[in-house]
A = this chain, B = another copy of it.
Amino acid sequence: MLVKSPLAKPFPIMPEIAGATPRVARAGYKDWGRCDLSYIALDEGTTVAGVTTQNICCSAEVDLCRANLAHGRARALVVNAGNSNAFTGQRGKDAVDAITAQVAGHLNCDASEIFVSSTGVIGVPLPIDKAQSGLRAVFDAAPCSWEDVTHTIGTTDTFAKGATASAMVDGRKVQLVGIIKGSGMIAPDMATMLGYIFTDAAVDAAFLQQMLSASNKTSFSCITVDSDTSTSDTVLAFATGKAGNTPLTSYDDAGADAFAAALNDICRQLAHLVVRDGEGAQKFIEINVSGAANDDSARRIGLAIANSPLVKTAIAGEDANWGRVVMAVGKAGEPANRDSLSISFGATQVARNGLAVAGYDEAPVAQHLKQNEIQIGVDLGIGAGRATVWTCDLTHGYISINADYRS
């Protein structure tokens, strides 16, 4: 068993979401005793938005979600853990089709309203018989908690990751809950991992997509564990409409800003939780980049630092080796000027305008690096672009987990 991350957060108290009913069961995708099939039934009228991996070798499940997002309606979500069903050709597609047909038959709805994700090893077709018997079991199961679902969708995760938020919309309090899994193969290009957000707010599907895409840009797209972009990454947001507010259709609607802020908040929380469960992580690292040519450039420079094995191992070793940050900025392929570059660790400026600050004292930096939450500041000194990126350190734990994950 994997040891719980030292950066773990307790699972929050999560409200029920009217119109979304979670259940879990055991399909037995791997030889384990735990539940590995999640099923969330969604009442009629639920809208959906989503962002998916940009990995070209994406799974049949990702293909399905993309196709079904076109109409923005959802009646159920199925998540399989223990097998990603990616790179399995027609047999993989057949398995997904069998799942959507069986659920649509059960709910008496169109198969295109069923969303499916799978996570686990790549290249092994999902066994259709196990999926079918798992679904039969889950239809009969009692409704469960969000925490149960979160445990059921996890693979190498060491703790259950959830977040909640609320907003006042149209005089009504709307609730949002989000759950997420993922701790390795995390370098979202557009979305990442498997993350699901449920709300009882009424939100037009196109506007929900617009808000989710915006939130994604500063949350899931700004984290990395190991620079490897998964073939199955999917984040879906479902709005059941049971709160009874007038449906939100644009940022001009009353309450839309509050809802967007709550969605943003939940995406940020979920993204941070993934980093906190990064494989082998001992330190949570925030990288603030400013003074870049533009915001996109700042994000790419932040990710170059966050993906550098040498920066990540220095932090793991609590070594104030800030020269490795200089190296990472320089290799990013983005506009930069060595002689206007400034760097800080925690509250301590270590370099300014291309060299170490006069009388640089390493003691406060060494002290900061002993914490398990690290801040690195980088100012390029050439523009107004800024971004914040989050990652974890690279430790022996990552090697141990990944040198024998499948065995």
A: which residues have CB within 8 A of B?
Answer: 54-58, 84, 86-92, 121-125, 184-185, 187, 189, 226-231, 307-310, 313-314, 316-317, 319, 321-324, 326-332, 336-339, 341, 351, 353-356, 394-396, 398-400, 402-407
State whether A403 touches B329 (Cβ < 8 A).
no
Tell me the bound Cα distance from A191 to B313 in angstroms: 24
Tell me the bound Cα distance from A86 to B229 in angstroms: 32
State whether A338 touches B403 (Cβ < 8 A).
no
Residue of B nearest to A227 (CB): B309
Give the residues in chain B near A328, CB-CB below 8 Å. 228
- Identify A398's interface contact among B88, B313, B326, B341, CB under 8 A: B313
Most buried by B among A307, A309, A316, A323: A309
State whether B317 touches A123 (Cβ < 8 A).
no
State whether B403 touches A331 (Cβ < 8 A).
no
- Identify A310's interface contact among B92, B226, B353, B354, CB under 8 A: B226
For the residues of A in contact with B, the DSSP-based class is loop
Give the residues in chain B near A353, CB-CB below 8 Å. 89
State whether B402 touches A310 (Cβ < 8 A).
yes
State whether B230 touches A327 (Cβ < 8 A).
yes
Shortest CB distance A155–B (Å): 13
* Top 6 A-B pairs, shortest CB-CB distance: A122-B323, A317-B403, A57-B330, A89-B355, A313-B402, A229-B331
State whether A228 touches B327 (Cβ < 8 A).
yes
State whether B336 touches A57 (Cβ < 8 A).
yes
State whether B351 touches A123 (Cβ < 8 A).
yes
- Additional A-B contacts beyond A88-B356, A227-B307 (19; CB < 8 A): A57-B330, A86-B323, A86-B326, A87-B326, A88-B355, A92-B355, A123-B355, A123-B356, A185-B310, A189-B331, A228-B327, A231-B323, A231-B327, A313-B402, A313-B403, A314-B406, A316-B399, A316-B403, A317-B404
Residue of B nearest to A315 (CB): B403
Shortest CB distance A53–B (Å): 8
Shortest CB distance A329–B (Å): 6
Tell me the bound Cα distance from A407 to B56 in angstroms: 42
Residue of B nearest to A84 (CB): B323
Tell me the bound Cα distance from A331 to B188 in angstroms: 10
